[in-house]
Amino acid sequence: MKSFIGTGLFVVIGLAAALMIGFYPAFTRTPAVFDDEQSGMSREIVIKFSHVVAENTPKGLAASEFARLVQEKTNGRVKVEVYPNGVLYTEPNEQEALLRGSVQMIAPSFSNISGMSPPWIVMDLPYAFLSNEAVKEAFAGDIGAALFDKLKSRGIIGMAFWGNGFKQMTSNVGPMVHPADFKGQRFRILPSRAIEEYFRLMDARTFPIPFNDTYRNLEQGTVDGEENSISNIYSKKFYQVQKYMTLSNHGYLGYAVLMNKTFWDKLPEELHAPILEAMKEATVFANETAIAINEKQLAEIRSMSGIRIHEQTPEERREWMEAMDPAYNRLEPIVGAELIGKIRELQRKYGK
Ligand code: LMR
């Protein structure tokens, strides 16, 4: 026993000495915020901004606009390097990359954030938003604030909400007019308990697949359909491998622009204001252009592809809403009664 304690003490003292003499700097070093390149001659600070969509989409364009504005407003002291199309990181690992500081900014869809913070599925509830005004109100009001609050303790700052647009259904099986048309179909979805739930309520099966693998899965027939904004259906050419589309606006695809908090806190104080200003302007740009892009690209899909488009009637919308509505009660334990109540308020205000 004595010799056991003796050996233990020896190891502890040895380790302490090693720390003091040799390892000390390594143990106390705060995580590197600026790498060598960043503190080099030009003293340019680089913000790596990674996302998964194409450059000609609302998010892609807004990210480029943000980069331009930051360059301008910081007189070139800060450079935002935008990595689109998942070239750097895709959804399963972009959040880890943000947390460990391999990138400083990402803009995942709400569904993707729900893996880290489950109440975010509130944004995926079926027909939660019945107009663009409702979306705007959610972003700017209590709902947006409550959601960003949930990320603080994870070391993430919510910089802004960027909208893309309402989600539409596409499939190869047949026209999707009534809830019964979904029976037995296999849908690619974003990873979200809410989305899973409303497809289940329509007797469809769901498969969470990364965005940039979706085209291949549709083409090979591993899944029958998917749901997305027009800009994503257009930019990733899903319309080429899908025969039917229903303009249902049953969900909303939006993004939270997230920043690594350690990085932000270590930025020279005087750079905060111009970056925030750039984000504010890029956000106005994002939310204004998103609507126009989706409209324009829908017109292009109509004119150049053979996909059969069904526009949901108000009567059909009521049917879908009724079929999907039990998702609200079922998901209340995850979302919380307060947030569900706020979405219900918005629905009442904007038309339900
Ligand atoms: C999707 O995976 O369908 C979207 O989240 C992609 C995106 O970021 O718009």
Tell me which residue has its CA closest to atom 1 in ligand 1.
211
40 exposure class (CB count in 10 Å sphere: 0-12, 13-18, 19+): exposed
Q: Quick check: 2 pLDDT over 90?
A: no
Q: Ligand 1, residue 226: give the atom nearest the CA.
A: 3
Q: What does the pLDDT read at residue 21?
A: 34
* Ligand 1 centre distance from Cα of residue 53 (Å): 7
The pLDDT value recorded for residue 91 is 87
Mean pLDDT computed over 275-304: 96
Taking alpha carbons only, the member of 211, 256, 214 closest to residue 98 is 256
Higher pLDDT residue, 342 or 13? 342
The CA angle 43-47-53, to the nearest 5 degrees, is: 150
Tell whether the model's pLDDT for residue 248 goes beyond 70: yes
Mean pLDDT of 82-108: 95
pLDDT given for residue 13 in this prediction? 46
C-alpha distances out from residue 134 to 44, 166, 303, Å: 40, 12, 30
Minimum-distance ligand 1 atom for the alpha carbon of 52 = 8
Whether the per-residue pLDDT at 136 is higher than 80: the answer is yes
For residue 165, what are the β-bridge partners? 253
Q: What is the pTM of this model?
A: 0.86
Mean residue pLDDT of the chain comes to 90
How many residues appear in the chain?
352
Q: Indicate which residue's Cα is closest to atom 2 of ligand 1.
A: 211
pLDDT (mean) for 10-18: 44
Whole-Å CA distances, 89 to 169, 236, 238: 27, 17, 22
| Per-residue pLDDT at 290 | 96
pLDDT attached to residue 43: 78
pLDDT at 50 over 90: yes
pLDDT at 74 over 60: yes
The pLDDT of residue 251 is 98
Using DSSP bridges, classify how beta strands 205-208 and 186-189 pair: parallel, antiparallel or unpaired. parallel
pLDDT at 352: 60
What is the arithmetic mean of pLDDT over 24-46?
A: 48
Our answer on whether the CB atom of 279 is closer than 6 Å to any ligand 1 atom is: no
Q: Whose CA is nearest to atom 6 of ligand 1?
A: 211
90 against 48, higher pLDDT:
48
Tell me if 176 sits within 8 A of 246, measured CB to CB. Answer: yes
Task: For ligand 1, pick from 56, 82, 105, 211 the residue to mutate: most ligand atoms within 8 Å of CB.
Answer: 211
Q: Which two tokens stand for residue 296?
A: 């324009």
Residues 6+ apart with CB under 8 A from 158: 144, 147, 148, 151, 256, 257, 258
Q: Between residues 30 and 289, which one has the greater pLDDT?
A: 289
Question: 46: exposed, middle or buried (C-beta count within 10 Å: 0-12, 13-18, 19+)?
Answer: middle
The pLDDT tens digits for 218-227 are 999 999 999 9
Query: DSSP state, 32?
Result: P
Q: Work out the average pLDDT over 125-143.
A: 97
211 C-alpha to center of ligand 1: Å? 6
Whether residue 33 is predicted with pLDDT greater than 90 in this model: the reply is no
Q: Is the pLDDT confidence value at 175 over 50?
A: yes
In the block, tokens 């690992």 appear at 93
Residues 47, 34 contacting (CB under 8 angstroms): no
Whether residue 221 contacts residue 39, with contact meaning beta carbons closer than 8 Å, is answered with: no
Centre of ligand 1 from the C-alpha of residue 123, in Å: 14
Structure tokens at 321: 């809403």
